[in-house]
Structure 1
């Protein structure tokens, strides 16, 4: 495999280690051993409760979240795994601000650690809009293993793509 789309920004040494796991057909096994559990947060209302609890625990001073939901078309349309949508509505002489969080439905089948990673990422956008040092410090405050989880999730996505390609060639 010459192209690791989800891992292209990482050092060549790490990419080579992933390529070796793929060549030995051990990437899926490695991921299953490291992340054996699947979470039970399947509905949008359960996802809202989960994200709201994280927000209340780590970001009490940030305004409330209006809506949190899974979206099956998110990664296809926006090339993203999560979105933070800000809306402002004028109601009389007051501006009412709403924050919606949309999470790609691929996280429905992921481990609880990966769901937490994307929830933390989207919550951090409530305070920090850019992917800069302050943003990643906030992510690490809420999830100390944030960077490792993000890398491992990218390996999960790589494995998922390989499985899709394998199934398509068998058909």
Structure 2
């Protein structure tokens, strides 16, 4: 089995076989390109912050504020994750200050916008739901009705990035 298929753990075998055929016939990239032809132009951290705030203000107005949003080049390698939501508490002048931060894997700087949106929605959902439970995924689907499809397709995107990099090496 192709090591990149580890992103599909828990998915049905017939789906994994379909993806394997796309990889073997070198058609996964073309399939993704056809389905998601446009990459986003949210390159700076300020633009990313504004993008996240726009989604947050639409769906989570009463949730805790976000102090920082950033692209992070170390996330995927170190944490085996695509995005991180951190809740940082610091003592400041005798008071406890809490800050929410969202970090997105920098590999998504050049991704199609729906994948970035899915990651942002996922991390924003952690403002209300810390665990990946039913309420968490319901909130994700409220903010992005195609959440589950986009999550699967983002996994295919990661597989494509790894397998196309392997083919170039």
Q: TM-score, normalised by structure 1?
A: 0.94
Q: 1:95 — aligned with what?
A: 96
Provide, for residues 7-26 of structure 1, a one-character-per-residue CA deviation record: whole Å limited to 9, x for no partner: 12211011011111112221
Q: Distance in 1 between matches of 2:64 and 2:23?
A: 44
Structure 1 residue 167 and structure 2 residue 168: aligned? yes
CA distance, structure 1, for counterparts of residue 59 and residue 94 of structure 2: 31
1:20-169 equivalent positions in 2, closer than 5 A: 20-92=21-93, 94-168=95-169
2-side partners of 1:43 and 1:2: how far apart?
A: 34
Structure 1's 104 and 2: CA in aligned 2 closer, same or farther, altered over 3 A? closer
Using the alignment, how far apart are the partners of 1:65 and 1:12 within structure 2?
Answer: 39
Query: For the residues of structure 2 that align with 1:128 and 1:45, how far apart are their CA atoms?
Result: 25
Q: SS of 2:117's equivalent?
A: helix
Q: How many residues align?
A: 168
Whole-angstrom distance in 2 between the partners of 1:58 and 1:159: 32
Q: Secondary structure at the match of 2:43?
A: coil
Unaligned runs of 5+ in 2: none
CA positional deviation for 1:134: 0.5
Report the CA distance between 1:34 and its aligned residue.
Answer: 0.1
Aligned-partner Cα distance in 1 for 2:88–2:73: 22
**Structure 1 unaligned regions, length at least 5:** none
CA distance in 2, matches of 1:166, 1:118: 27
Q: TM-score, normalised by structure 2?
A: 0.95
- The secondary structure found in structure 2 opposite 1:62 is coil
User: 2:6 corresponds to which residue?
Assistant: 5
